[in-house]
């Protein structure tokens, strides 16, 4: 019999995870089902109890429950503890275990983009210091980087995140205007903020005046598929990528945890792109 998987969040109406996972279950001949459960913060505890009662074998966790879910789980993996958030839960030996595939998913998608096995020698700039930045920075800092710099509107938050990353690499914090003037130093620039996301299509996280041609510019946004900032970076000779790659990879890693089967990333990507085209 097929098993039940799911997603909890609030709101979850626009999530592409159900179509991506159900599409892949079908393609692989698995009779499992992935269902999105809209749970408000007040419903979280009862909702998670209900999921356990239904014997759900695994689920994704999205905004606003990524931190609040932690005390409701039997165990939490070190990666999720470092990031301070859980995006994936799986069941093993009767226990519900929390992990985080956002950071490792991002890192894998970045390594695929640049065609390398690790980030050895690379100088990285992360823009933003929120939840998404935390997952990206913690994972990237563990991939032999030459340096990791975090730029944020609120400098204290960047300082806090850079201190956490100093466990793994040389890390520091700067302001957004310092990031703009020193942009030419970096090999890889990652926007983790929502600046430029629909409907505010005209906004850009930082100016690209000082960017070097050949810099890798990665924007976690995928709505629109190409932000104004990415378009500008491309016109200045940058190698660019949007947030679809991270989205697919974090989903693929969760899929593997749940089923032990490696899904077809390319096919998952096409499913998501098709879904986005229908926006």
Residue 261 CB, nearest approach to ligand ATR (Å): 30
Chain positions 6 to 35 lying near ligand ATR, rule: CB under 6 A, are none
| Comparison of 113 and 204: residue with beta carbon closer to ligand ATR | 204
Residue 80 CB, nearest approach to ligand ATR (Å): 15
**Residue with the closest Cβ to ligand ATR?**
130
Binds ligand ATR (CB under 6 A): choice among 153, 212, 236, 267: 153
Residue 275 CB, nearest approach to ligand ATR (Å): 20
DSSP string, the chain: ---EEEEEESS-TT-SHHHHHHHHHHHTT---EEEEEE--GGGHHHHHHHHHHTT--EEEE-TT-TTTTGGGSSEE-HHHHHHT---EEEEETTEEEEE--HHHHHHHHHHHHHT-SS-TT-EEEEE--SHHHHHHHHHHTTS--SEEEEE-SSHHHHHHHHHHHTTTS-EEEE-HHHHHHTGGG-SEEEE-S-TT-TT-TT--SS--TTPPTT-EEEE---SSSS-HHHHHHHHTT-EEE-THHHHHHHHHHHHHHHHS----HHHHHHHHHHHHHT-
Cβ contacts of 155 within 8 Å, gap of 6 or more: 173, 174, 175
The count of chain residues that interact with ligand ATR, using the rule CB under 6 A, is 14
| Comparison of 51 and 174: residue with beta carbon closer to ligand ATR | 174
| Comparison of 57 and 101: residue with beta carbon closer to ligand ATR | 101
Catalytic residue among 26, 52, 66, 274: 66
To the query of whether residue 122 is one of the catalytic residues in this protein, the response is: no
Q: Do 220 and 136 contact (CB within 8 A), yes or no?
A: yes
Single out the segment in contact with ligand ATR by CB under 6 A; choices: 18-26, 43-51, 193-201, 262-270.
193-201
List, in sequence order, every residue forming a beta bridge with 206; answer none if it has no partner. Answer: none
Residue 74 CB, nearest approach to ligand ATR (Å): 25
Chain positions 111 to 150 lying near ligand ATR, rule: CB under 6 A, are 128-133
| Comparison of 40 and 177: residue with beta carbon closer to ligand ATR | 177
Residue 23 CB, nearest approach to ligand ATR (Å): 25
The verdict on 195 binding ligand ATR (CB under 6 A) reads: yes
Binds ligand ATR (CB under 6 A): choice among 157, 228, 236, 267: 157
Give the footprint of ligand ATR on this chain (CB under 6 A).
128-133, 152-154, 157, 192-195
Active site residues: 66
């Amino acid at each position: 019999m097929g098993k039940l998987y799911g997603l909890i969040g609030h709101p979850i109406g626009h999530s592409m995870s159900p179509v991506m996972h159900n599409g892949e279950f079908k393609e692989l001949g698995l009779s499992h089902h992935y269902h999105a459960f809209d749970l408000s913060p007040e419903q979280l505890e009862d909702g998670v109890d209900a999921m356990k009662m239904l014997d759900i074998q695994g689920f994704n966790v999205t905004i606003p429950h990524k931190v609040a879910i932690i005390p409701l789980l039997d165990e939490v993996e070190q990666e999720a503890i470092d990031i301070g958030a859980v995006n994936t839960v799986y069941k093993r030996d009767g226990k519900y275990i929390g992990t985080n595939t956002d950071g490792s998913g991002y890192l894998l998608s970045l390594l695929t983009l640049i065609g390398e096995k690790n980030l050895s020698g690379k100088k990285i700039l992360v823009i933003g210091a929120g939840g998404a930045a935390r997952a990206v920075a913690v994972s990237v800092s563990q991939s032999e980087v030459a340096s990791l710099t975090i730029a944020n509107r609120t400098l204290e938050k960047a300082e806090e995140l850079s201190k956490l990353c100093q466990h793994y690499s040389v890390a520091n914090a700067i302001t957004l205007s310092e990031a703009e003037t020193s942009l030419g130093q970096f090999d890889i620039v990652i926007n983790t903020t929502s600046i430029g996301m629909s409907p505010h299509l005209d906004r850009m996280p930082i100016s690209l005046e000082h960017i070097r041609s050949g810099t890798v510019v990665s924007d976690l946004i995928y709505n629109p598929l190409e932000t104004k900032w990415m378009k500008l970076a491309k016109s200045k000779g940058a190698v660019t990528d949007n947030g679809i790659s991270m989205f697919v990879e974090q989903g693929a890693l969760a899929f593997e945890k749940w089923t032990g089967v490696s899904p077809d990333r390319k096919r998952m990507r096409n499913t998501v792109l098709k879904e986005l085209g229908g926006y």
